[in-house]
Structure 1
Amino acid sequence: MTDIVDGTQGDRLAAAALGLVGVPFRMHGRDPATGLDCVGVAVAALAGIGTQVSPPLDYRLRGGCLHRFDRWAAQCGLTAVPLRGKDVPGDVLLCAAGPQQFHVMIDAGPVLVHAHATVRRVVAHPRPSPWPVVRRWQLSRES
């Protein structure tokens, strides 16, 4: 059985994501020292709270599939929650940035943290998301 972790864990993930703001953008970047893309932000923020995860191996700019992201989220210890539910800091969002183009963001309370390719760095973007949110995941634990 899976339970959602209390807000403290989500707050820690949101804080870890906020700590990445300003890191340079790099496509397929996985190291904050050299640059991150949107998946890299999620992987680095999760690592920042002690959760070591691998990025999805088949992630590319276009041609993404929801089921691949769902599988990756489950491997990261994330549980899908209703899109119209309560926004919780630390939620990991998957947005549809274009046709078959997905983008990962982390809910950090008043802002959404993500790697912005145009600005060439990780940013804290004011709400709402500029793209439709198609998945919302929260940290989970086995009980």
Structure 2
Amino acid sequence: MSALERARSVVGVRFRRQGRGEGGFDCVGLVGWAHGVDVPADYPGRSGDATRVAAVLAAAGFRRVDRAMAGDVLLLLSGPGQLHLGLSTGGGILHADAVARRVVERRDVPWPILSIWRK
């Protein structure tokens, strides 16, 4: 099963801060779970440190790419100084949405993409 297929299997699961399983996910937990990689336990709930996030992704075996394909990790700027992770669907995004309080799939990417990462 691909990372995107795995993530799609949990659409509708509730949002849970630092969630890493089918009982709930945040954006970091969803990306890690979908790709089958461990995520750090000590990450802050809010972060604007794109360099730190890039280092964690690289250490987990992701490489930076120029164009998104389905299943790639999108590092997004979801607000001033606020980063967010999601999975590319090939035109939209699948992510743990704190506002909707669940994992959702959208047909568009509503935030600026800072970088794209592939496993």
TM-score (normalised: structure 2): 0.90
Q: Which of 26, 43, 60 pairs up with 2:32?
A: 43
Matches within 5 A, 1:85-100: 85=67, 87-100=68-81
- Say which one has the larger Rg: 1
| C-alpha displacement of 1:95 | 0.3
| Structure ranking higher on relative contact order (CA contacts 8 Å, 6+ apart) | 1
TM-superposed CA distance for 1:61, in Å, is 2.9
Q: Measure the CA separation in 2 of the matches of 1:56 and 1:133.
A: 22
Aligned pairs for 1:53-132 (under 5 A) are: 53-82=37-66, 85=67, 87-127=68-108, 129-132=109-112
CA distance in 2, matches of 1:27, 1:58: 12
Q: Which amino acid aligns with 1:76?
A: A
Task: Tell me the distance in 2 between the aligned counterparts of 1:57 and 1:130.
Answer: 27
1:46, CA displacement in angstroms? Answer: 1.1
SS in 2 for 1:44: helix
Instruction: Report the alpha carbon displacement of residue 30 of structure 1 after superposing the two structures with TM.
Output: 1.1
Aligned length: 119
Deviation at 1:110, TM superposition (A): 4.3
Structure 1 residue 88, shift from structure 2 partner? 0.7
C-alpha root-mean-square deviation of aligned residues, in Å? Answer: 1.6
Q: Unpaired segments of 5 or more residues in structure 1?
A: 1-10, 48-52
Q: Secondary structure at the match of 2:57?
A: helix
TM-score, structure 1 normalization: 0.76
Aligned equivalents of 1:95, 1:44: Cα separation in 2: 18
**In structure 2, distance between residues paired with 1:134 and 1:99:** 13
Identical-residue share of aligned pairs (%) = 38
Aligned equivalents of 2:92, 2:9: Cα separation in 1: 13
